[in-house]
Amino acid sequence: MALLPFFYRGTDFTFPIERRDLREALDNAYRSGCLIFMGVADNRGRRAAVFPSALKSVIAVGSTNRKGEKSDIASSSDYTEIAAPGGQRGSSNPYDHIWSTGGSNNFVHMDGGCMAAGFAGAVAALIWSRYPSLRNDQVRQILRNTARGEGWNPFLGHGIIDAYRAVTLRKRELTRRLRIEKWATLLQLEGSKFKLKVEVKNLGVYDADNALIVAYNGNPLKAASKKGSMRKPVILITRQIGHTIVSVTGFESNIAELSLDIKRPPAKMYLQVFSLDIDSEHIVSTVRVNPILRL
């Protein structure tokens, strides 16, 4: 884990512009397949931005107490990614702190982002021990998308790490697997244009940054007439009537909106969804939908 003195030249977290070597070392380590964890800031329960915790090559870990809430030392930032136990510094209860070996002092209690970063790194090691062929960016997504939390917040990021959930993922969950929730489709007329809103769910742990949703006025899996030839092509009956691309986080859902090239709702409407991301499995989901019409 890379560490840097927080207070630099007597100022409050000034970015050390001459330490290009440290930034390059961290970036190179990440490109080489490593994961780097650091606490969010200075353990003073305030909002602050810190180098190198804010770098994209570093996973910034927020601090929680044993109640599963942000601790009194937790810092707020726009780059907090996940959270882990960091201790409650202001508590007199010994169970509210993180205990570790203390040399001649046997065991001592500590509090801080370094403790939280250590827990997060340990869970990453457990994931790698279970699935040693994973890339570091995949382990990072597993940490983030199996964390316990509702949405994102500046203290806990995407949630508190969940070691059990992370290491018990099934192999079929180690993917991007998209599904249209056909019960959650809404067709609206806005001016002279029809807009289709549809919920897309990711059943895999990896983020689908580019999920393509295509709408058809019929079944796209139905073969065209066998009578067609190059000289006498068959007039297509099933046509695309709209598409869009959205991002869908692992194990979460997103609402996609498609502008449809139609004058009236078709008798049949089908949707297909699949991931365009590199290294995605070629899984295409096709469903017939009966959207609720709202004029």
**Domains of the chain, with CATH numbers?**
20-169 (3.40.50.200), 178-294 (2.60.40.2550)
Side-chain-facing half-sphere of 165: CA atoms under 13 Å:
15
pLDDT of residue 256: 96
pLDDT of residue 44: 86
pLDDT in tens, 256-294: 999 999 999 988 899 999 999 999 999 999 999 988 888
Q: Between these two residues, 128 and 190, which has the higher pLDDT value?
A: 128
The set of long-range contacts for 23-26, using a CB threshold of 8 Å and a minimum separation of 24, is 23/51, 23/52, 23/55, 26/2, 26/52, 26/55, 26/57, 26/58
pLDDT bracket for residue 13 (50, 70, 90) = low
pLDDT bracket for residue 2 (50, 70, 90) = very low
Instruction: Output the DSSP codes for 37-98.
Output: EEESS-SSSSB---TTTTSTTEEEEEEE-TTSSB-TTPPB-S---EEEE---TT---GGGSE
Sheet holding 193-202, edge to edge: 253-260, 193-202, 178-190, 292-294
- Please give the Cα distance from 155 to 18 (Å, whole number): 29
pLDDT of residue 18: 65
Per-residue pLDDT for 1 more than 80? no
- Mean pLDDT of all residues in 231-239: 76
pLDDT in tens, 46-55: 898 888 899 9
Q: How many percent of the chain have pLDDT more than 70? A: 93
Nearest to 152 by CA among 81, 66, 61, 207: 81
